[in-house]
Structure 1
Amino acid sequence: MTLKLGRHEFDDQQTLMMAIVNRTPDSFYDKGATWAEDKAFDRVTQVVEQGAEIVDIGGIKAAPGVEIDAAEEIRRVGSFVGRVRAAFPDLVISVDTWRAEVGRVVCAEGADLLNDAWGGADPELVDVAAEYGAAIVCTHTGGVRVRTRPHRIEYADVVASAITDTVAYAERALAAGVDRRSIIIDPAHDFGKNSFHSLELTQRLDEMVATGWPVLVSLSNKDFVGEALDLPVGERLLGTLAASAISAWHGARIYRVHEVVETRQVVDMANVIAGRLAPKRAIRGLS
């Protein structure tokens, strides 16, 4: 299905890299490296040069921590979105927020996509997306509260739960007036899940793809990768790339990443093997 992300459209053969830009002092991976606005802008410039089609700007880390109200979240991401929009008119700008109040501000500043990592915690976010013609990511969190870690959460079938909840969210967005081409679903690895759940979602991602809604995966340096290999956050790149290859084989469309170049090569190679892409060059034994 053709993707329409705000003012941008992508054909159904394109996979997209969504580069993470954290406007937070306490992010789990970069430890605040892009907290300062100019550092965050430098990161945007870097990932655009590396080929990212989307940047995902977030003002609050997902894990528990200091309470950040909507006004502070807006201070962190609102005008920054405007700065990025002015500098990169052809870039898809996503904002990682669950709050409709924040969504309205960033869409007015030029955001194309609202990445709701918390499964519709604010039911009015879909109305904001519809009002501004923005795209929306519909995630599965198993009903956990915003910015909490799962504890002994159980599912009869985690994949069935992810499909039921994300499709219901997608249909609610559609009913609110969001363009069908602008609705994306995300199993949300680690959110409301233990590592066995995240692994099973990766194994069976084709079932989510089969719903017909474009699938986003956010795998980069996640705990399920670290636990699978018993590695700390800074040493999870290869495991992340392996999970990305499996997700590409199953047909995921968007990859939320810290490492753009490496993920692009892995995803493209998986799609060439799967027959969805042609090799960029094929002369061996032919010339």
Structure 2
Amino acid sequence: MAIEIGIKFIDNLQQARTEIMAVGSDAAGWQRMAPKAVHRVLKLTGVTPVQANIIKQEMLARGGEAAVARGVVNCSVEATDVLLMATLKQYQEFIAKLKMQPFGLPKLAERLQQALDNLEGRPLRRLNCRGRELTLGGRTLVMGILNATPDSFSDGGRYQEPAAALEHALHMVEAGADIIDLGGVSTRPGHSQVSEEEELKRVLPVLQRLVQEVPVPISVDTWRARVAREALAVGAHIINDQWALRGDPGLAAVIAQYQVPVILMHNGRDNQYRDIMSEMIAFLRQGIDLACAAGLARENIIIDPGIGFAKTYQQNLEVLRRLKELNVLGCPILLGTSRKSVIAKTLDLPVDQRVEGTGATVALGIAGGADIIRVHDVKEMVRVARMTDAIVRGNSHVG
């Protein structure tokens, strides 16, 4: 009988245990071997030479590896990135040793352990949206876009009137939307600034109808504390902030007061990055810290990579390729690519012909860890999400 050779891609401990048990190993065997089957590559930034030398020495002693800048040995560089390469078993021993070292390394050990825990996957959990619950992790949730604006790039002016907005929202819910995201300010390139008063004038009349007659949670897309406060007073369930609490210093306290879920999106003033994913993770981590410092429960935080914001065409594609790196933060991920310019530039298509391109980004986004997709074409993207869930999540029937 010829011996065949196959390959297994092991992403986490649960998969390792499943594969080892399938071979026929006993419980003691898979418990011992599973941490050796999962290999992680973690990148540290802003490490001093003194720290880097200790890190490299301790990782090598465990059988792992740590790549550092050439000038670390003689301390001729001020700081270095460090690329750690090890199995979970090696990380366990490395972290235990790091906790006994000086120079701030015990704190780093805690953050490394948290990052490794986050990469094991997010458990199924319920998100309480002021009494309206959403289950995260069972299937991909779909957020339908509702623009109460005259100048949005896709549907500006169509849903400014409360009656038309309500009809469209109900249509999206019927098509499978789990959340409706209401916005009163366009974020398309070249958009005009809108006053708080104008934003409130656009949002509140529509919101009043939605919270009364739409059965799913209503998210309000705003970065302003006053708009968020008045929207929450009317009954909004989620705040979607495109500046991750940087746009208005009062927003975090408003959200914490109501203890509602918040979506923190990556954004910036330019598109100059040394390592876009490392800097995006740092930006979002700071937003998470701001929310938690204000008193918001970490379980209420969702992150968004901000496709189309402060990024070039190539950078948007890179973020989509590397989306799974955001899993290190341990927060649910929302992905908003619907009809955006990255699709237009790839396929050279007008805004009303980008459904297939959106579908490709949605499917790959779900494979990369997205828990929520924000879309215009709800019916079509629900179908894409369900098919992708069947493959990625193993949901043969998700209803």
Provide structure 2 residue ranges, at least 5 long, that are not aligned to the other structure.
1-122
1:280 offset after TM fit, Å?
A: 5.4
Written as runs of structure 1 = structure 2, the 5 A alignment for 1:31-110 is 31-63=156-188, 64-88=190-214, 90-110=215-235
Asked if the contact 1:79/1:109 (under 8 Å) is kept, the reply is no
1:279 offset after TM fit, Å?
A: 3.5
Q: Which moved more, 1:252-261 or 1:76-85?
A: 76-85
Structure 2 residue aligned with 1:174: 292
1:36 offset after TM fit, Å?
A: 2.1
Which AA in structure 1 matches 2:329? T
Q: Deviations over 1:180-221 (max 9, x none)?
A: 221000000010111111111111111112321100011100
Once residues 26 and 168 of structure 1 are traced to their aligned partners in structure 2, the CA distance between those partners, rounded to angstroms, is 31
Asked if the contact 2:140/2:370 (under 8 Å) is kept, the reply is yes
1:137 is paired with a residue of what secondary structure?
strand
Q: Which moved more, 1:153-162 or 1:50-59?
A: 153-162
Structure 2 residue aligned with 1:284: none
1:224 is paired with a residue of what secondary structure?
helix
Structure 2 residue aligned with 1:220: 338
Structure 2 residue aligned with 1:197: 315
Once residues 248 and 188 of structure 1 are traced to their aligned partners in structure 2, the CA distance between those partners, rounded to angstroms, is 15
Once residues 304 and 261 of structure 2 are traced to their aligned partners in structure 1, the CA distance between those partners, rounded to angstroms, is 13
Structure 2 residue aligned with 1:256: 374
Which AA in structure 2 matches 1:203? R
Q: Which moved more, 1:112-121 or 1:196-205?
A: 112-121
> RMSD between aligned alpha carbons?
1.6
Asked if the contact 2:241/2:263 (under 8 Å) is kept, the reply is yes
Tell me which structure has the larger Cα radius of gyration.
Answer: 2
Once residues 193 and 273 of structure 2 are traced to their aligned partners in structure 1, the CA distance between those partners, rounded to angstroms, is 29
Structure 1 residue aligned with 2:265: 139
- Cα distance change on mapping 1:170 and 1:24 into 2, 3 Å: same
Asked if the contact 2:140/2:389 (under 8 Å) is kept, the reply is no
- Sequence identity percentage: 36
TM-score (norm 2): 0.65
Once residues 28 and 257 of structure 1 are traced to their aligned partners in structure 2, the CA distance between those partners, rounded to angstroms, is 13
Structure 1 residue aligned with 2:132: 8
Specify which of 152, 163, 183 is matched with residue 301 of structure 2.
Answer: 183
1:210 is paired with a residue of what secondary structure?
helix
1:62 offset after TM fit, Å?
A: 0.7
Q: Choose between structure 1 and 2 for higher RCO, CA contacts under 8 A separated by at least 6 residues.
A: 1
Q: Deviations over 1:156-201 (max 9, x none)?
A: 1111111111121012112211122210000000101111111111
Structure 2 residue aligned with 1:128: 254
Which AA in structure 2 matches 1:58? G
Moved over 6 A (4+): none
- Cα distance change on mapping 1:175 and 1:14 into 2, 3 Å: farther
Once residues 191 and 311 of structure 2 are traced to their aligned partners in structure 1, the CA distance between those partners, rounded to angstroms, is 19
Asked if the contact 1:127/1:176 (under 8 Å) is kept, the reply is yes
1:28 is paired with a residue of what secondary structure?
coil
Once residues 275 and 35 of structure 1 are traced to their aligned partners in structure 2, the CA distance between those partners, rounded to angstroms, is 38
Once residues 280 and 70 of structure 1 are traced to their aligned partners in structure 2, the CA distance between those partners, rounded to angstroms, is 41
Specify which of 262, 277, 286 is matched with residue 395 of structure 2.
Answer: 277
Q: Which moved more, 1:133-142 or 1:211-220?
A: 133-142
Structure 2 residue aligned with 1:268: 386
Structure 2 residue aligned with 1:114: 239
Structure 1 residue aligned with 2:150: 25
Structure 1 residue aligned with 2:327: 209
Count of residue pairs brought into register by the alignment: 272
2:302 is paired with a residue of what secondary structure?
strand
Asked if the contact 1:220/1:240 (under 8 Å) is kept, the reply is yes
TM-score (norm 1): 0.90
2:228 is paired with a residue of what secondary structure?
helix
- Cα distance change on mapping 1:274 and 1:67 into 2, 3 Å: closer
Q: Deviations over 1:71-94 (max 9, x none)?
A: 111111123212211112x31110
Provide structure 1 residue ranges, at least 5 long, that are not aligned to the other structure.
145-149, 282-287
